[in-house]
Amino acid sequence: MALLTFSQLIGRIQMLCNEQIDYHEARAVLDDQYRAFFTEHEWTFSKIETRLTTRAGKTDGTVTVTQDSPTVVGDSTGFDANDLGSFILLPDGRYYEIGGVDPGSQTLTLGKPSFPTNYVDATKAAQKYTLFLHRYTLDTDVESLISITAKNWTLEEKRQSTLNDIDPQRVVDGEPTSFAYIDPDPVTGATRIELWPIPLVAYSFPYVGLKRASLDSSGQLLPDLSEALLMCAAATGCNIAFLKTGKEQFQSARDYYGAAGQDRLHRVLKRDRRRFGKDDIIRGGAMNRFLGATNLDIGPWGRW
């Protein structure tokens, strides 16, 4: 089996589950299984431990907004180039992305850099505002998070749609308790997350991430690993399909793919350890995740 991208793996999972699960379900089980592979086994490359520091929000001064205009004019506001890509909560109760900043004139342009967004409410002067950053880019060599912690708790992973249901206008602020993956950085491809509630002060969150690294630069291990990942994720997907349909064929497929995935994973683990002269003791448990997984947000099949 050739090395597959995440998108290709998602398509294969849907195919093996006879299209009984949708794209988002397939992505969720794949993400969950991927993290299980790298958190529950001792591979010969290390994880990364670092920190994510948030930016304090801005409320100094006032702003003037004009109906049907993307321009926000500040007075004693201190806007600077670092505010590009932040969001601002304006008097209409909506939050807008900041697509342009002119520090000299203290003006902001709402929307994305190439697609301005007009302010929709009535023209108002000398208004209070809150400028904040709740979307952060992880270090470029971090593939995904294993854990990220606040002072007294571990942040819980949620889907962006869940945050949209909880706080659609993102008006709740405080020390974050949750995070959600968002689209990667369009330029670098680096992983990005959204924090919730919105951090309006500078927090420093230690986190452990999975590195963007191959098990073997020659590619000898990766094809086996992608096949193991596919089989184990397909087992979870077939379990979802079985619960949806009650058809025994998905129950049988779940057992088959689970056993096949475990076999392939053990093979690639042994090869990885032999390659560095380590013993063949394999610490596991990831293969049983598709039976009775309980780390829930929306459903019982992985972190949503």
Give the pLDDT confidence of 181-209 residue by residue, as tens digits. 999 988 888 999 999 999 999 999 999 88
Cα distance between residue 93 and residue 38, in whole Å: 42
- The mean predicted confidence, pLDDT, of the chain is 84
- Say if residue 153's pLDDT is above 80: yes
What residue spans of 211-289 are helical by DSSP H? 222-245, 248-275
CA end-to-end span of the chain, whole Å? 28
- Say if residue 143's pLDDT is above 90: no
Rounded to the nearest 5°, which phi and psi values hold at 37?
Answer: -55, -40
Give the pLDDT confidence of 205-245 residue by residue, as tens digits. 999 887 765 544 454 556 778 888 899 999 999 999 999 99
